[in-house]
Amino acid sequence: MARVSIIVPAYNAASFIGDALASVLRQTYPHWETVVVDDGSTDQTRAAVEAHMPAFRGRLRYLYQENRGVSAARNTAIRACRGELIALLDADDIWLDNRLERGVDTLDQRPEIGLVHAKVIRIDREGKLIGKPPAPAEKYLSGNIARHIYSRRAHLLAPTILFRRRCLDAAGYFDESFQVTEDRDLWFRIARAFPISYINEVLARYRVSPDSLSREWERTRETQLQFLEKHRRAGHASALDYRQGLANLHRERGDVLFNRGALGESIRWYAKSVGYDPRNGRNVYMLLRALAEPLLGKVSHKYA
């Protein structure tokens, strides 16, 4: 029986899922199965998956369900799979060849660890490199980091996640009331029960479109707030953690606007961030930088 179950939720993924599945076949770790859950696609996702089935030699299963969202698709895959370890791969992402091997080795060496994650690089829709997302200090990414996940100091990236099935006994499955932020919610619950391990290497390529970071924030803000409220009400987070989470959420919005050149709007969000957590040096620095940017721009233009 396969030791690692790879779960792949797919919705209208015909354009990219072939690349994702091909990266599974290239894995240096051999003991896996793959479960694709088609969440009500209206394109040729099923045909794209079936075209790859011969190469998988019985280690790929395709399941179809009416559209219920990514959380429900992942839960369907988890219930259908058999491995003691569960790996996430979204249909538009790509694994590096040693992704599973590195994760399995880490869990084998440290039986107390519940979940392991790593770095990604970003690619665009054509597969061209965009760059690495910024990574916080490793102290926020490894160990007992539940509060750092909650307060958004730690970002665990789905295509690098590998966790033990027994984590679900303690934490439960993906919360199907979340259509986004479902991953942070589950990682937080797992991290409350198990230490987390971090591999300081790039193990996956994460596909984004040029404007998706801005649109993603706008689309997910309410759900991010829902996540913070859910665990504050449940007593899983302190008042300080809650305010820090709000501050980091608003600073991230300021960063998006600052990078787009929308200084007035970025200042507004940075000011909110500082209001929630005035002791956070990064929040204060970004507010001051945005306020000074018009002057700095003039100086740099003068001496260019």
pLDDT mean over 261-274: 94
Least confidently predicted of 152-166, 174-188, 205-219, 284-298:
205-219
Residue 220: which pLDDT band, with cuts at 50, 70 and 90? Answer: confident
Euclidean distance between CA atoms 133 and 7, whole angstroms: 24
Q: Which residue has the higher pLDDT, 242 or 125?
A: 242
Among the listed residues 19, 274, 220, the one whose alpha carbon sits nearest the alpha carbon of residue 127: 19
For the segment 134-151, what is each residue's pLDDT rounded down to a tens digit? 778 899 999 999 999 999
Residues with Cβ within 8 Å of 201's Cβ and at least 6 positions away in sequence, in order, are 102, 118, 119
Q: Which residue has the higher pLDDT, 27 or 124?
A: 27
Give Dmax (Cα) for the chain: 67
Question: Got the DSSP string for 103-158?
Answer: HHHHHHH-TT--EEEEEEEEE-TTS-EEEPPP---GGGTSBS-HHHHHTTS----G
Euclidean distance between CA atoms 206 and 128, whole angstroms: 11
Cα radius of gyration rounded to whole Å, the chain? 20
For the segment 228-240, what is each residue's pLDDT rounded down to a tens digit? 999 999 999 999 9
Residue 301: which pLDDT band, with cuts at 50, 70 and 90? Answer: very low
Q: Are 168 and 69 in contact (CB under 8 A)?
A: no
**Encoding tokens for residue 208?**
């984004």
